[in-house]
């Protein structure tokens, strides 16, 4: 379903009648740094405390980063862009992702609020814990968290900074095409890797426009 933005305002629209719910839906872009950077270092410390070698740590850390890129793609494509048919479903979809497509420059809704990111990170932690031993889990999970943190920070930068050249300009262009040309393509945000592999990316002609 092709759709262009509704508003280019940087202001946040109100989504909830409840002041508490409204406050939980917004966050300053720097907040994830204060939450997840310490968590990453804690898990790194726990990895070496559990006896991880530098080679095993580095390997599973990189695997964690890679798994995040696939997780980001799958969630964006199949969850955030799932289009419910019920009225309630459409309201939930708007809260979680529709608002971002209608108000793509809303400064307070460009990174996941802690009310969502912390429960989600906890869920993934226990998922990975179910099949990874502690030493590998503590090496893998900080890489996964770093991938998420890069996604959040890059996503904010793409919507509020102009990049003149280099890889960041290409990454931003890929995401802007998703917003302003075709929301059913370009699901990778921090990386276009899975869009290339799964053929959901944009043509070279689109990237040059």
Residue 203 lies in a domain: no
Q: Is the pTM of this model over 0.85?
A: yes
Residue 85 lies in a domain: yes
DSSP secondary structure code for residue 14 in this structure:
P
Over residues 71-92, the mean pLDDT reads 91
Residue 59 lies in a domain: yes
Residue pLDDT, tens place only, 142-165: 999 999 999 999 999 999 888 887
Residue 189 lies in a domain: no
Residue 205 lies in a domain: no
Residue pLDDT, tens place only, 13-46: 888 889 999 998 889 999 999 999 999 999 999 9
Q: What pLDDT does 6 receive?
A: 65
Q: How many domains does the chain have?
A: 1
What residues contact residue 142 under an 8 Å CB cut-off, 6+ apart?
A: 39, 40, 41, 43, 44, 47, 61, 64
Residue 47 lies in a domain: yes
Q: What pLDDT does 5 receive?
A: 53
Confidence band (pLDDT; 50, 70, 90) for 207? Answer: low
What residues contact residue 206 under an 8 Å CB cut-off, 6+ apart?
A: 177, 181
Q: What is the number of other CB atoms lying within 10 angstroms of the CB of residue 180? A: 13
Residues of the domain holding 149:
19-164
User: What are the tokens at 168?
Assistant: 């960041």
Query: For residue 47, which of 64, 72, 71, 33 has the smallest C-alpha distance?
Result: 64
CB–CB of 61/140 below 8 Å? yes
Q: What pLDDT does 20 receive?
A: 92
Residue pLDDT, tens place only, 101-117: 888 888 888 899 999 99
Residue 171 lies in a domain: no
Residue 188 lies in a domain: no
CB–CB of 190/150 below 8 Å? yes
């Amino acid at each position: 379903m092709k759709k262009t933005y509704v508003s280019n305002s940087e202001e946040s629209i109100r989504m909830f009648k409840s002041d508490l719910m409204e406050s939980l839906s917004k966050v300053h872009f720097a907040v994830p740094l204060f939450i997840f950077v310490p968590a990453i270092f804690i898990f790194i410390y726990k990895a070496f405390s559990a006896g991880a070698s530098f080679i095993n740590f580095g390997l599973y850390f990189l695997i964690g980063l890679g798994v995040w890129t696939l997780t980001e793609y799958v969630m964006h494509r199949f969850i955030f862009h799932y289009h419910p048919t019920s009225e309630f479903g459409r309201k939930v979809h708007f809260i979680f992702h529709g608002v971002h497509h209608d108000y793509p420059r809303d400064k307070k809704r460009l990174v996941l609020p802690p009310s969502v990111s912390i429960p989600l990170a906890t869920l993934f932690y226990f998922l990975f814990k179910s099949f990874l031993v502690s030493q590998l889990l503590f090496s893998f999970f900080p890489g996964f968290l770093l991938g998420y943190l890069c996604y959040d920070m890059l996503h904010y930068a793409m919507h509020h900074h102009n990049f003149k050249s280099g890889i960041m300009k290409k990454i931003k262009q890929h995401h802007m095409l998703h917003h302003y040309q075709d929301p059913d393509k370009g699901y990778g945000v921090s990386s276009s890797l899975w869009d290339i592999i799964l053929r959901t990316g944009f043509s070279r002609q689109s990237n040059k426009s």
